[in-house]
Structure 1
Amino acid sequence: MRLFSTTLLALSLLGTLPTACCSNPSPSTNSCQAPDETPSDPGSVQVTKLGSGELKAAGQTWPYQLLKLEVPGRAATYAQWFPPRKPGVSPVVMLTKPYDGIAWTGEAVDAKWAARGTGLHPDDSEPHYGPGSSAIAYTPTTPELVAGEAFVYLFHDFGVLAVFGRFYAGGDLQNDRDDMNAGLRFLAQADHVDTTRIGVFGGSWGGYEALYAAADAPATVVPSVGVALSPLSDFAQEVDYVSRVVPSRVSDPVMRSRYQQFFEPYFRRIHATTGGDPGTPGSDYTRWTAAHLASTVQTPFLILHDDWDTLIPVEHTRALVAQAPQRFTSLDLQNLAAVNWNTLPPDHGPLLTQYGSVIITLSLGHLIVKLGAAEQPLLIPHAQGTVRAWLQGVRAAQEQGRDVSDVVPRLLELTDPRVQMFEASLGTLQPGAAFVAQEINAVWGTGFTDANVRSALAPGLPTP
């Protein structure tokens, strides 16, 4: 359940590659190894700094720290922290990183996987792995790559906390949930954090981590905004989908086998926490459903989902939104052709790939507009022509009689007076309202201007 990284669009905001360096690099792991075993805070989270470094970009420098976070009675959590640089308090974005392989923890399990390198490997750090178990993919990251992804937020004077779930290290659902909770607990005690302006962002399994982090958030650090891409929200429904719905849709035995192999590592982790499939003796999904999220999450979330997602069906997001529309808002990516489940591979849908840069533009727009200061200029990166291509698909959906009312709120966010749209390949800046008017006019043949586009879109998109 992997998604594209936001790194490329983060880098596009620079137009050049940033550089990050460690104050104490380890040649053997290309990581920052500067152990400081004295906890910096003996409170609810014990914090140990394992390394430090800095990101140099756009003529500026942002320091970061590699942290071990320990909550009593739980396994350790690891995070990369970019503290706010401004005096006073600043917004922070927490990035959920379920799959990224890190080599700087000092733990044997991370060293083992780092030595294996990128690729498919036996899932043998998970204690229930055995004969017939599927392999999992491992993708290493470095502090430099994480710094590149964080840049778009750092540029706006936000702090950034990347929390690593380390799927490859074993664990289970509760362990992942504990990791994200440790991240929020850390923010509750970190200096210079505006605890009223915390954002959380994740996709797929990281989307699950973002949603459930908000559900478990300590009262003093409830995120004020969240974005989840194709998130797993209801584990009981997911087990039912894989066990019952997929076989009813997919008749090709080869494709069925692909689904079984893909989901097997996830089911081991799900069952390790819940006790088995829903309805089996001893199983308990009480804290792992959309109903639980609807009753506990106080954070307003934007959820983006492809309606041909074959890993986590869009119906799960729609059900979550229906239970708590005051908290959850969705944007569906609508495929227009007739669906053939036998030919669709197990993935998050073709439009999530086709319009990947647009999804990141809309996600960043939502987070940055919600977290930015009242008079702060906000730069939102986009790739030339991609928003227009997406809107052409939206118009085609309109012509088929589809409901596309979820599009206008996302466009209106980009017309915020603080927003400047940045296109790195051309090096151009354009006011958000002028950009949206230009794209709408090109697709619908209207004559909107930056002065009237907000009021013109208030009733909805133009009629085709």
Structure 2
Amino acid sequence: MRILPTTLLALSLLGTLPTACCSNPSPSTNSCQTPDETPTDPGTVQVTQLGSGQLNAAGQTWPYQLLKLEVPGRAATYAQWFPPRKPGVSPIVMLTKPYDGIAWTGEAVDAKWAARGAGIHPDDSEPHHGPGSSPIAFTPTTPDLIAGESFIYLFHDFGVLAVFGRFYAGGDLQNDRDDMNAGMRFLAQAPNVDTARIGVFGGSWGGYEALYAAADAPATVVPSVGVALSPLSDFAAEVDYVSRVVPSRVSAPAMRSRYQQFFEPYFRRIYATTGGDPVTPGTDYTRWTAAHLAASVQTPFLILHDDWDTLIPVEHTRALVAQAPQRFTPMYFQNLPAVDWNTLPPDHGPLLTQHVNVVITLSLGHLIVKLGAAEQPLYVPHAQGTVRAWLQGVRAAQAQGRDVSDVVPRLLELTDPRVVMLDASLGTLQPGAAFIAQEINAVWGTSLTETTVRSVLAPGLPTP
């Protein structure tokens, strides 16, 4: 359940690519014991710096640290930390990184996977791997790449904490949840953190991690905003979907087999925590459902989801939103043709792929607007023509009588007086209100201006 990383379109703002350099990290060891519960009090987290480096861009430098975070009784967690540079306190964005392969921990499991390199490999670091187990994809990353992804936040004087879940290293649901909690515990004790302005961001399995990072956050560092892309929010419903709903929708044997092979590594990790299929007596999903999240999450989340997502069906997000609409705000990418489940591959949906640049623009825009200072210019990247192409699809859905009211709040967000839209293709800047007025006019044939766009859009989109 991978999702495209937040490719930093904003690099063109600087006219030069940022570079990062990392010192050789120290080796480390690890032991694993997971508790039955995830405490939400700050507790204790021991921090060991394994390495350091810096991001260099536009004549500026952002130092970072490679950290080992240890909570008593748990496996170690690894994170890359860009501490705030400004005096006083600054906003923080925590990035959940479930799949990124890191080679600087000193652990044998990371060295093993780094030696294998990018590709499909046996899932043999997971303790329940055996004959018939499906392989998994491995994607190595470096501190340089994480620095590039973090740049847009760093440029706004935010701190950034990337927390690595290391799916390839094995473990279970609780282990991943503990990793995210260790990151939040670290923020509870790190200096210069504005505890009232913490954001969390993740997609797919990383979306699950973002939701649970917020659910388990110590009271002193509950995130003020979250963004989750196609998140897995209910594991009981997900097992039911793969085991019973997919076979009812998909009749082609080859496609059914693709689903089963894809999800097999995930099921091993889910069952290691819950005890098995939710229909089996003795299993326990009480802490792994939408109802648990609705009762536990205090952070307002924006959730973006394609309604043809075949990995995590959109119905799961609709169910989560229905349980706590005051906490979870959805925006759906709506496909217009009739769906044919036999031809849809297991992925997060065609529109999420087609409009990935727009997904990045809306996600970053939401986080930056919510976390930015009152008088601070906020740079939101976009790629030329992508927002207009997406809005053309929105207008077509509107013409079919679809409910597209979830689009207007995202557009109004980009008309915030602080927002400056950065065209990553051309390197040009434009006030957010002027940009949105321009795109609405091009698609709906209206005559909005920078000064009228907010008032005109407030009641809803123009009539098609």
Q: TM-score, normalised by structure 1?
A: 0.96
Task: Give the CA deviation at 1:14.
Answer: 3.5
Partner residue, 2:176? 176
Take 2:14 and 2:209, find their aligned partners in 1: how far apart are those partners? 29
- Residue 416 of structure 2 aligns to a residue whose secondary structure is coil
Task: Give the CA deviation at 1:258.
Answer: 0.3
Partner residue, 1:232? 232
Amino acid at match of 2:348: H
- Residue 7 of structure 1 aligns to a residue whose secondary structure is coil
Partner residue, 1:21? 21
Gaps of 5+ in 2: 30-41
Take 1:239 and 1:36, find their aligned partners in 2: how far apart are those partners? 36
Cα root mean square deviation, aligned: 1.3
Task: Give the CA deviation at 1:33.
Answer: 1.5
- Residue 63 of structure 2 aligns to a residue whose secondary structure is strand
- Residue 5 of structure 1 aligns to a residue whose secondary structure is coil
Task: Give the CA deviation at 1:97.
Answer: 0.1
**Contact 1:10–1:149, Cα closer than 8 Å, also in 2:** no
Q: Deviations over 1:260-310 (max 9, x none)?
A: 000000000000000001131220000000000000100000000000000
Take 1:203 and 1:15, find their aligned partners in 2: how far apart are those partners? 29
Residues matched between the structures, number: 452
Task: Give the CA deviation at 1:10.
Answer: 4.5
Partner residue, 1:399? 399
Q: Deviations over 1:410-442 (max 9, x none)?
A: 000000000000012212100000000000000
Q: Deviations over 1:27-53 (max 9, x none)?
A: xxxxx324699xxxx971000000000
Take 1:11 and 1:274, find their aligned partners in 2: how far apart are those partners? 43
Take 1:10 and 1:252, find their aligned partners in 2: how far apart are those partners? 43
Partner residue, 1:71? 71
Gaps of 5+ in 1: 25-31
Partner residue, 1:29? none
Take 1:140 and 1:171, find their aligned partners in 2: how far apart are those partners? 18
Partner residue, 1:439? 439
Take 1:111 and 1:138, find their aligned partners in 2: how far apart are those partners? 13
Q: Residue 13 and residue 7 in structure 1: after superposition, are their counterparts in 2 closer, same or farther (change >3 A)? A: farther
How many percent identity over aligned positions? 87
Take 2:43 and 2:235, find their aligned partners in 1: how far apart are those partners? 33
Partner residue, 1:369? 369
Amino acid at match of 1:64: Y
- Residue 153 of structure 2 aligns to a residue whose secondary structure is helix
Partner residue, 2:157? 157
Take 2:209 and 2:349, find their aligned partners in 1: how far apart are those partners? 20
Amino acid at match of 2:385: G
- Residue 276 of structure 2 aligns to a residue whose secondary structure is coil
Take 2:235 and 2:167, find their aligned partners in 1: how far apart are those partners? 17
**Contact 2:10–2:424, Cα closer than 8 Å, also in 1:** no
**Contact 2:408–2:460, Cα closer than 8 Å, also in 1:** yes
Q: TM-score, normalised by structure 2?
A: 0.96
Take 2:396 and 2:79, find their aligned partners in 1: how far apart are those partners? 43
**Contact 1:35–1:51, Cα closer than 8 Å, also in 2:** no
Task: Give the CA deviation at 1:109.
Answer: 0.3
1:378-393 correspondence runs (5 A): 378-393=378-393
Take 1:173 and 1:36, find their aligned partners in 2: how far apart are those partners? 23
Partner residue, 2:148? 148
Take 2:295 and 2:314, find their aligned partners in 1: how far apart are those partners? 20
Task: Give the CA deviation at 1:59.
Answer: 1.3
Partner residue, 1:452? 452
Partner residue, 1:461? 461
Partner residue, 2:218? 218
Task: Give the CA deviation at 1:11.
Answer: 3.1
